[in-house]
Structure 1
Amino acid sequence: MMYRANGVVEAKARGDRNVVGTVALAHDERHLRRKLLILQNGARVLVDLPQPVALHAGDCLLLDNGALAEVTAAEEDLIQIRPRDRLHLVELAWHIGNRHLAAQIDEDRILILRDHVIEAMLEGLGATLAPVRTGFEPVRGAYSGKAHGHDHQHSHSHDHG
């Protein structure tokens, strides 16, 4: 079966619409405009959106027959970073953000992609680290655009002198 997707329905707006299948995508694969996806049931979806979108787990592609294909977060190899306390979490998040790394910031932990150099830095800052394999929903940057096509571009320099 081949479908064409030319729209997106946010997870909170999908209601009880028919979902014909799911596709698990890594965090960097969920930013797309045109792509051929294979659903877990083998059906193919040709994604042809008017502009790039950043999808979150649970969002759906609107198919040409009115049904939906759900996007889920594929499991990725990550590092779970546990702080000593809430202030330490903020400090660790600052260091990660200063390096422009994709990060999922939760109330009691931060998740990032595996990187031995960053892991050593975080351990040096007193964080407790553990490898995990789970879905990854990093915070979208202020300039990265919102989901569903509100993309913005920017440029800036890092003048540290």
Structure 2
Amino acid sequence: MLPTATCVTQTVADPADKITLDETARHRRRMAMRSDGGIEFLLDLPEARLLQHGEGLVLDDGRVIEVHAAPEPLYEVRGRDARHLVTLAWQLGNRHLPAEIAEDRIFIRRDHVIHEMLIGLGATVGEIMAPFSPERGAYHGHHHGGGGDHEHGA
């Protein structure tokens, strides 16, 4: 029988292993998983949530598996000023695109059509590889989105 992770801890002192997942794979409730070092376990949380980089999955045998957010191909979107950035955010939101909002930039998954739209709107768009933690929507319950959880390389 596989050990089961039924809760998440914000602090990880001495993890038994780590598991590296992209944003899509970090948004889970229940599934069989394997840590980077080969520990097999069942994730069985009360509700689906976005597992954040640095959190720990507490197994019923007491071990903790630390979550690592895998870098993903993203666009880093910047505006001319704060108002322009808000306008760009509105355009992205109007298209229901997952976006991670920072004080002076927005991170989105790469998409050449959206890239062209943003350039046409006067945005500065750069390609980066970084962990992705988009804002959760208003109808997704608790807010687990990013912006302040970690830094992206610029």
In 1, the alpha carbon distance for the partners of 2:17 and 2:12 equals 16
Structure number with bigger Rg = 1
Report the CA distance shift for 1:74/1:15 in structure 2 as closer, same or farther (over 3 A).
Answer: closer
- The alignment covers a number of residue pairs equal to 143
What does residue 19 of structure 2 align with? 23
> 1: distance between equivalents of 2:95 and 2:119?
16
* Residue 112 (structure 2) aligned to one of 112, 116, 124: 116
C-alpha offsets along residues 126-155 of structure 1, whole Å, 9 cap, x if unaligned? Answer: 01111111100111111112269xxxxxxx
Indicate conservation of the 8 Å contact 2:18/2:65, yes or no.
yes
Deviation at 1:15, TM superposition (A): 5.8
**Percent of paired sites with the same residue:** 45
Q: Encode CA deviations 1:80-133: one digit per residue, 9 max, x unaligned.
A: 111111111111111101111000111121110111111111001101111111
Q: Tell me, which stretches of 5 or more residues in structure 2 are unaligned?
A: 145-154
TM-score w.r.t. the length of structure 1 is 0.81
Please report the RMSD computed on the Cα atoms of aligned residues, expressed in angstroms: 1.7
Secondary structure, counterpart of 1:19 in structure 2 = coil
Could you tell me how far apart the structure 2 residues matched to 1:114 and 1:77 are?
6
Note closer, same or farther for the CA distance 1:85–1:147 as it changes in structure 2 (3 Å cut). Answer: closer
Out of 92-101 and 59-68, give the one that drifted further. 59-68
Give deviations 1:54-96, integer Å, cap 9, x for gaps.
2222222111122311112111111111111111111111110
2:7 maps to 7
Cα distance change, pair 95–147 in 1 and its aligned pair in 2 (3 A): closer
